[in-house]
Amino acid sequence: MKLLNDLLHTDYGLMSLTVIAITLGMAVFFIRLFVGKMNESAAQAARGTQGQPPTPRR
């Protein structure tokens, strides 16, 4: 119980929660970015347009 109390009610506990939240947010962002780039690359390879620049999204 002391651990949870320290985590939620002290400066260093709140900073730790902030860092954990930012790290998890970055992980979600990068996973979505990398999966999107892989899918885009696979679609280009299937179309046979690998040497051409990607078409802009609207």
| pLDDT recorded at residue 48 | 83
Residue 7's identity, in one-letter code, is: L
Q: What is the pLDDT of residues 21-50, one digit of tens each?
A: 999 999 999 999 999 999 999 999 898 866
Q: What is the pTM of this model?
A: 0.69
Which residue's entry shows tokens 């930012």?
Answer: 22
